[in-house]
């Protein structure tokens, strides 16, 4: 730290730095729970999609079981109708039984087609589910990892905030109350910035030129001075670096 004629100025500059750091940490901390919320929403939508797929799979399985049962019944009816062919007495009965067998065969055949289609789509769904489950597992790992890291970031921010607040408190103990009061008042009016450097006759708070006389005084006097334009506390600093 540069040695200044008034050591209180150093403390005020340091206090400003800490206060800005606290502001930055608070802003960062505000964003993190939002990130957690976003993550949860993303994860929820993926897990909803997985549930929907599972439900569709189960419905198709149920439908297939129902068709299997119908086909079983159809095949038994067909078998019985064929057996009855040997017992018919009249041609009319025979024709009617043939018609019944034909209808039954057609119905069974279409049931078989439907079952084949269902098997195909169950097969497709099963393959899709396997792929999606793998994706889901990866996403869940990512989600959990990111959730952990966001939680850790919040904890780390809390520790930093705590340390900064304590440092500011300690620093304030070495600054006269009236100067702190002045600092706080300027900070409110100056949108969070109360102390700014001047360099080459320009105030870095308002970017306006300051009188040459004041610029000289800032460099040589041990008084705490303020910018005539923005009223912030000013100190000299080489800004070439």
- When asked if residue 111 is in the footprint of Zn ion (CB under 5 A), the reply is no
Helices 7-84, 177-189: inter-axial angle, 10-degree rounding: 50
- When asked if residue 227 is in the footprint of Zn ion (CB under 5 A), the reply is yes
Closest to Zn ion by CB, 143 or 204: 204
**Which region among 77-85, 103-111, 170-178, 226-234 touches Zn ion (by CB under 5 A)?**
226-234
E strands of the chain, at which residues? Answer: 195-199, 202-203, 225-226, 233-236
Interactions with Zn ion, residue window 191-210 (CB under 5 A)? 203, 205-206
Q: Residue 85 has what DSSP assignment?
A: G
Measured in degrees and rounded to the nearest 5, phi and psi for residue 231 equal 70, 10
Per-residue CA distances from 203 to 73, 110, 234 (Å): 94, 88, 7
Spatial distance between the Cα atoms of 177 and 77, rounded to a whole number of angstroms: 102
Print the binding letters for residues 147-186 with Zn ion: x by CB under 5 A, - otherwise. ----------------------------------------
Closest to Zn ion by CB, 25 or 203: 203
- When asked if residue 117 is in the footprint of Zn ion (CB under 5 A), the reply is no
E strands of 129-190, at which residues? Answer: none
**Which region among 20-28, 64-72, 138-146, 223-231 touches Zn ion (by CB under 5 A)?**
223-231
Closest to Zn ion by CB, 168 or 210: 210
- When asked if residue 230 is in the footprint of Zn ion (CB under 5 A), the reply is yes
- When asked if residue 229 is in the footprint of Zn ion (CB under 5 A), the reply is yes
Closest to Zn ion by CB, 163 or 209: 209
Spatial distance between the Cα atoms of 91 and 173, rounded to a whole number of angstroms: 118
Q: By 3-state DSSP, what share of the chain in percent is helix, strand and coil, each rounded to 5?
A: 75, 5, 15
Nearest distance in Å: CB 182, Zn ion: 15
Q: Which residues bind Zn ion (CB under 5 A)?
A: 203, 205-206, 227, 229-230
């Amino acid at each position: 730290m540069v040695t200044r004629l008034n050591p209180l100025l150093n403390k005020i500059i340091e206090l400003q730095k800490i206060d800005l750091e606290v502001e930055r940490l608070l802003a960062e901390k505000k964003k993190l729970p939002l990130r957690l919320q976003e993550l949860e929403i993303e994860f929820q939508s993926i897990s909803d999609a997985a549930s929907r797929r599972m439900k569709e799979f189960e419905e198709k399985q149920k439908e297939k079981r129902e068709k299997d049962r119908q086909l079983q019944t159809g095949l038994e009816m067909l078998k019985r109708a064929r057996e009855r062919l040997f017992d018919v007495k009249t041609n009319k009965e025979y024709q009617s039984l043939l018609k019944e067998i034909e209808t039954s065969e057609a119905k069974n055949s279409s049931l078989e087609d439907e079952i084949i289609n269902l098997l195909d789509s169950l097969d497709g769904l099963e393959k899709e589910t396997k792929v999606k489950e793998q994706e889901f597992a990866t996403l869940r790992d990512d989600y959990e990892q990111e959730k952990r890291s966001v939680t850790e970031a919040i904890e780390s921010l809390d520790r930093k905030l705590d340390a900064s607040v304590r440092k500011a408190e300690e620093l304030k103990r070495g600054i006269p109350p009236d100067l702190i009061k002045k600092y706080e008042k300027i900070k409110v009016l100056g949108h969070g910035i109360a102390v700014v450097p001047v360099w080459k006759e320009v105030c870095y708070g308002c970017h306006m030129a300051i009188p040459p006389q004041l610029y000289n005084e800032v460099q040589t006097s041990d008084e705490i001075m303020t910018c005539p334009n923005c009223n912030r506390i000013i100190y000299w600093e080489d800004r070439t670096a």
